[in-house]
Chains A and B, each alone.
Chain A
Amino acid sequence: MNSKVPLKLTVNGETFDIEVEPRWLLSDVLRHQLGLVGTHVGCEQGACGACTVLIDGKPERSCLTFAIQVEGQQITTVEGLTRGEHLTPLQESFSAHHALQCGYCTPGMLLTATALLEQEPHPTEQRVREAISGNVCRCTGYQFIVDAILAVAGDTKEDVR
C-alpha cells in the first residue's frame, strides 16, 4: 500500500515527474510534494470546497482525488491563475470589492468562479450563488464575493456598487 509509483503530473502548464504513494491525495501532493500551498485543505471530506482546483478546466475537490487519478490531465491551481506580476481581472475585482477576509477559501473560490465565467461569461446573481454554493466562506457572508464575480462578468442588471 505504501510503495511509491511514478507519476507524470501536469500542473499550471508544467509537467512534473514524481513518485507518489497511490493513496496520496492530490491536495497533499500539490501542497507537500510540489510546494503549491495555495491549495488549502479545509475538511478532507469534500464539503467545504477550499481545496478546489481545476482539472481539465472543471472545478474538482483535490482532497477527494488521488494524485494518480489525474495523470495526463491539466491541473490548474491558484498559482497558475496569474501571469507574471499582475493580478487577473477577477483577482483585482476580489480586492476592489473586499471579497476576502482570512483568505483561506479564496483560492478555491477564485478557481470555481474562473470556471464559471469561462463557461458562462454573463451569469445572473442567482447563477453565481449556485455556482459557488459548494465553496464555503466563513468570513464574508458571500455578498462581496458575488459582487466581485458579477463586476467581472459585466452584468449590468446587478448592483455591484
Chain B
Amino acid sequence: MTEQAMRPQFMGARVKRVEDPRLLTGQARYLDDIDLPGMLEIAFVRSPYPSARITGMELNAVKSAAGVRAVLTFEDCPILLWQRDSYQVGQPVLAHNEVRYVGEPVVAVVAEDRYQAEDAAELAVVHYEPLQPVLDMVQAIEELPRRVHSHASNVFYHKEYTTQGFSDAFAQAPRHLAATFRTTRQTAVTLEPRGTAAMPDPASGRMTVYASTQSPHRIRGDLAELLGWPENQVRVIVPEVGGGFGMKANTYPEDVVVVWAARHLGKPVKWVSDRTESLLTDVHARDDIHEVEVAYQDDGRIIAIRDHLMADGGAYPAYPFSGAVGETSLASRVLTGPYQIPYIETVIDCTYSNKTPLGAYRGVWGPIASFVQEGIVDRVARSLSLDPAEVRRINMIRPDQFPFRNAAGMIYDAGSYGESMEEALRLINYKDFRVRQSALRAQGRYRGIGISVFVEPTAMASSEAGSVGYESVFIRVEPTGKVTAAMGLGPTGQGHETTMAQLIADQVGVNLEDVVILHGDTDSAPFGGGTGGSRSGPIGGGAALVAGREMRQRLVKLAAHLLEAAEEDIELGHGQAWVAGVPDRAMTIRQLAEIAYTHVKRIPPGMPIGLELVARYQPEQSVSFSNGTHIAEVEVDPLTGLVQVVNYVVVNDCGRLINPLIVEGQIHGGVAQGIGSAFLESLRYGDDGQLMTTSLSDYLLPEATDVPRITIEHLVTPSAGEGGIKGMGEGSLIGAPAALVGAVSDALAPFHVMVDRLPVTPDDVIEWVTARV
C-alpha cells in the first residue's frame, strides 16, 4: 500500500491545550486532592543531624497521642532501597541505627489527619550520638574525615576515559590554561510538593497507589520489587502532577512507607510533603566540581580538554539512579558540546557525603557541562584577546561533518550549530554591541553578553525516567468513531494530552477534539518509560505517529472494501473516508467503526474485528541531538552586586515541532530556571552539615520581575526518527546558565572577572570587583 502524502492539519499548529479548562477552573485533581473515606495521613519524624548514631527512641507518648493509628520504625518496615549490589549501599526507608543526612526519615506517624500526625510526631524522642559529618567531596575522595558508610568507600563511582593520542596532542599544543568550575546544590522545587497515597482494594486485594511521579510503570515495578509483591497486584494512578523536572522520577523512601502502611493497616494512607521537607529531602542536584586543563592554539582552536569531574552524591544513591552518576557520566561524554575538540581525558569520582541524595533536575548533566564548555571557550578567547563569537566559529562542528563523532565517542546527528549562533548574534545585534558596551562602560555601567551554543542529547535509550528505549500506544477507535489512546508517559505539565492527540488526529483523520489521550494509569496504559530525558516528544510522539498510521491503514482497508475502491484511492480526513476525486462515495469514520464492531460480517476477510491495536516505536538511533544558541545581555551593578537580564534571545532547533506554543512555553520556563540557576538558587549547608535554606524565603526562585521578555526563533533540522521530532524539554535550562554567567564575565571584564561558579551571588560580584579595583 502506498503511503499517502500526509497534509498534517494539527502537527505544527499552535493549538490550545485540551488540559487547560480543568486547570483554569480549579477542577483538576492533584495528589493532595485525593480524599478517600477513612484515609489516614502520615507525618515523618526526621533526622535533625547530618550524621549520628541512634541510641534509643521513646515513642510511647506518640503512640498514645490523639488520633494516632500506628507508629512505624525500621523494625516494622525493614526495607532497603537498592537491595541490589550496585552500590553496596541501600537507603533504609526509615533510618536504621544511624542517620546520614538532615531530613532522613526516622519514624513514620500514621494518624487520622495531618494535624494530629504532626502533633504526635512532635512527641517523639530520639536519642542521637552525633558523628563527624562528611561534607567536602574533595576530602571524601581521600576517605576523610571518615567513611559515610563504614563498609563502603566514599567513592562509589569512578570512571576514566581518554581519547587515543590525548597525551601527545595535549603536550604539543602551544598554549594551556587551567580552571576549576563549581556548581552549588540546587533542586527542582516543583510547585506541587511530592506526595503518595495508597488504598488497598478490598474487592480485588490489589493495592492502588496514587503517585505524583513522572514514571508510572517504573514506580509500580519498584514498589512491587521492594515490597515483594507481584507486579500485577499494584496499580499506579498518577493524578494531575504539578511539575516534575526530573525530581519526581525517583522512588523515595516515603513512597514505600506509605504503601507498606496502607497494606498493614488495611486503610487508605496519604503523605504529602510540606515545603521544608521538600527542600530537605527531594533529590538535590548540581553538586559538582570540574577541574579542567585546556590545550589550545594561538588562533583559538581548542585541541584537548582534561577534566576531573567530581560530584557529591549525598548520603545514599537515590533510587533507582544516582544523580551524581548521571551528572558526571553524561557530562564527560558531551563536554565538548558543539565544538570539534578532538581530544578529551576525563576522570570521574562520585562520592558519598552527609547530605541529601543527589538525583535529577532538568538537564541533569547539561547545565553543568555547558557552563564548563562555554567557560573554556570564553577563557581561551580572553587569553588571546579574540572575539568570543569568533573563537566559537573556529571550533564549531561544520554542517558537512554530520554525523559527527565527538572526542568521547558520542555520535551527533545533524544540527544547525553555526547557523543557530549566527542567527542569535543577529537577533541580539551583536555587531553593534561592543560599541554600546564601551559607551556604557565610560558611564560606569557594566553590560555584557554571554553566548551559549548548546547540544541536547534527547530520546536516549535510558533516562532518569527509566531504561526503556521505546514507547507504546494502545489506540482504539470507539464504536462511535471517537479515538482513545493510552500511553505510559508521565506528563507533569508538558501538555501530552494535546500534543499526542495532534499527532494521532492527523493520522486517523479525525478532529483534535475527537481524540482522548489517557496516561498515568498502569491498568490502562501499555508498559512505558515515563517522562524524562526529553523522550516523550521524539519517542512517545513517534509511537503516537506509528499507532495512528497503523489505525489509519486499518480504516483505509475497511473503507476500500465497503466503498468498493482500491486502498490507494481512499482518503481520510475530518472524520470521513472517501474515494479520491469522488467525494460522494464517502463514509464517516463513525459508520466505519460501527461496522467494525457490530456489523462484523461486512468486514473484509482476514481483518480483525474491532478497531484496537498496540503499537511500539523504538528509534533506530540511540540518541538524537537538539541544539540551539542562547545569548544573554546583562547589566551588573558593581555596587550592589545585582545582575539584571536586559535582553535574551534563543534560537532553538528541536527538529520538527508538534506544537510551537508548547515548545516556546518550555523554552521560556527553562530560561527562567536558568536565571534561578545562574543568580538565585542555592541549597547552602553550614559547616555543621545543616541545610540552611529550608524555605522559599531562603531558597530564592525567579519571580516575574526577574525574567525578561525572551525572543525565540525556531530552526528545523529534522531527526531521522518518526516525524523528524527531537526532544526539547531540557535544552533551555542546559543553555541558559552558561549564557547568563558568561554575560557576567563579559560585563566585568574590566575587573578581570571570569565566572567560575553557579550561582553567582551579589556577594560574589562585590568581592570580585572590590578585590580587583
B274 proximal to A (CB < 8 A): yes
A157 proximal to B (CB < 8 A): no
Chain B residues with Cβ below 8 Å from A43 are 275, 695-696
Chain B residues with Cβ below 8 Å from A155 are none
In-complex Cβ contact of A129 among B242, B276, B704 (8 A):
B704
Return A99 CB to nearest CB of chain B, in Å.
Answer: 9
Q: In the complex, given contacts A44-B275, A133-B705, A134-B703, what are 13 additional A-B residue pairs having Cβ atoms less than 8 angstroms apart?
A: A23-B115, A40-B30, A40-B191, A42-B192, A91-B24, A95-B16, A101-B669, A102-B192, A104-B243, A133-B704, A141-B668, A142-B704, A146-B704
Residue in B closest to A134 when the chains form the complex, CB atoms? B703
B368 proximal to A (CB < 8 A): no
Q: Is the CB of B243 within 8 A of A139?
A: yes
A47 proximal to B (CB < 8 A): yes
Residues of chain A touching chain B, judged by Cβ–Cβ distance below 8 Å, are 2, 21, 23-24, 31-32, 36-45, 47-48, 50, 77-79, 81-82, 87, 91, 94-96, 98, 100-107, 110, 128-130, 132-146
Expressed in whole angstroms, the Cα–Cα distance for A129 and B706 within the complex equals: 9
Chain B residues with Cβ below 8 Å from A137 are 191, 704
Chain A residues with Cβ below 8 Å from B669 are 101, 138-141
In-complex Cβ contact of B24 among A47, A87, A146 (8 A):
A87
Q: Is the CB of A136 within 8 A of B707?
A: no
B4 proximal to A (CB < 8 A): no
Return B421 CB to nearest CB of chain A, in Å.
Answer: 22
Expressed in whole angstroms, the Cα–Cα distance for A87 and B668 within the complex equals: 25
Interface segment among B87-95, B101-109, B492-500, B546-554: the answer is B492-500
Q: List 10 A-B contacts (CB under 8 A).
A: A40-B30, A43-B696, A94-B24, A95-B17, A96-B16, A101-B669, A137-B704, A138-B245, A140-B669, A143-B707
B672 proximal to A (CB < 8 A): yes
In-complex Cβ contact of A50 among B23, B191, B695, B703 (8 A):
B191
| Most B CB within 10 A of own CB, among A21, A42, A133, A144 | A42
Known: A42-B193, A137-B191. A100 touches B695 (CB 8 A): no
Expressed in whole angstroms, the Cα–Cα distance for A75 and B392 within the complex equals: 57
Return B481 CB to nearest CB of chain A, in Å.
Answer: 25
Return A58 CB to nearest CB of chain B, in Å.
Answer: 19
Chain A residues with Cβ below 8 Å from B702 are 141
B223 proximal to A (CB < 8 A): no
Return B168 CB to nearest CB of chain A, in Å.
Answer: 46
Chain B residues with Cβ below 8 Å from A81 are 25
Residue in B closest to A92 when the chains form the complex, CB atoms? B24
Return A27 CB to nearest CB of chain B, in Å.
Answer: 11
Return B721 CB to nearest CB of chain A, in Å.
Answer: 25
Q: Would you call the interface of chain A mostly helix, strand, loop, or mixed?
A: loop
Known: A42-B193, A101-B495, A138-B243. A110 touches B24 (CB 8 A): yes
Q: Is the CB of A95 within 8 A of B20?
A: yes
Return B767 CB to nearest CB of chain A, in Å.
Answer: 28
Return A29 CB to nearest CB of chain B, in Å.
Answer: 12
Residue in B closest to A103 when the chains form the complex, CB atoms? B23
Expressed in whole angstroms, the Cα–Cα distance for A53 and B49 within the complex equals: 38
Return B549 CB to nearest CB of chain A, in Å.
Answer: 28
Chain B residues with Cβ below 8 Å from A132 are 704
Residue in A closest to B26 when the chains form the complex, CB atoms? A38
Return B65 CB to nearest CB of chain A, in Å.
Answer: 11
Number of interface residues of B (CB under 8 A): 58
B587 proximal to A (CB < 8 A): no
Q: Would you call the interface of chain B mostly helix, strand, loop, or mixed?
A: loop
B29 proximal to A (CB < 8 A): yes
Q: Is the CB of A38 within 8 A of B27?
A: yes
Residue in B closest to A80 when the chains form the complex, CB atoms? B26
Residue in A closest to B663 when the chains form the complex, CB atoms? A98
Residue in A closest to B23 when the chains form the complex, CB atoms? A103
Q: Is the CB of B26 within 8 A of A48?
A: no
B586 proximal to A (CB < 8 A): no
Return A129 CB to nearest CB of chain B, in Å.
Answer: 4
| Most B CB within 10 A of own CB, among A44, A98, A134 | A98
Residue in B closest to A35 when the chains form the complex, CB atoms? B35
Known: A87-B21, A101-B493, A143-B709. A138 touches B190 (CB 8 A): yes
Chain B residues with Cβ below 8 Å from A82 are 25
Return A80 CB to nearest CB of chain B, in Å.
Answer: 9
B126 proximal to A (CB < 8 A): no
Expressed in whole angstroms, the Cα–Cα distance for A39 and B241 within the complex equals: 15
Return A149 CB to nearest CB of chain B, in Å.
Answer: 10
Q: Is the CB of B242 within 8 A of A102?
A: yes
Chain B residues with Cβ below 8 Å from A102 are 190-192, 240-243, 492-493
In-complex Cβ contact of B26 among A39, A95, A96 (8 A):
A39
Expressed in whole angstroms, the Cα–Cα distance for A32 and B565 within the complex equals: 60
Q: Is the CB of A78 within 8 A of B26?
A: yes
Chain B residues with Cβ below 8 Å from A2 are 66
In-complex Cβ contact of B192 among A36, A104, A141 (8 A):
A104
Expressed in whole angstroms, the Cα–Cα distance for A98 and B20 within the complex equals: 9
Residue in B closest to A1 when the chains form the complex, CB atoms? B119
Q: Is the CB of B30 within 8 A of A104?
A: yes
Chain B residues with Cβ below 8 Å from A138 are 188-191, 243, 245, 669, 673, 701
Taken residue by residue from 21 to 45, chain B's Cβ proximity to chain A (1 for < 8 Å, 0 otherwise) reads as 1011111111011010000000000
B391 proximal to A (CB < 8 A): no
Known: A133-B704, A138-B191, A141-B710. A45 touches B695 (CB 8 A): yes
Q: Is the CB of A100 within 8 A of B492?
A: no
| Most A CB within 10 A of own CB, among B32, B243, B702 | B243
Expressed in whole angstroms, the Cα–Cα distance for A124 and B291 within the complex equals: 47
Chain B residues with Cβ below 8 Å from A42 are 191-193, 275
Q: Is the CB of B665 within 8 A of A144?
A: yes
Chain B stretch 181-214: residues in CB contact (< 8 A) with chain A: 188-193
Chain A residues with Cβ below 8 Å from B189 are 138
Taken residue by residue from 655 to 671, chain B's Cβ proximity to chain A (1 for < 8 Å, 0 otherwise) reads as 00000011011011111
Expressed in whole angstroms, the Cα–Cα distance for A120 and B424 within the complex equals: 37
Known: A95-B20, A98-B17, A138-B669. A44 touches B274 (CB 8 A): yes
Q: Is the CB of A139 within 8 A of B695?
A: no
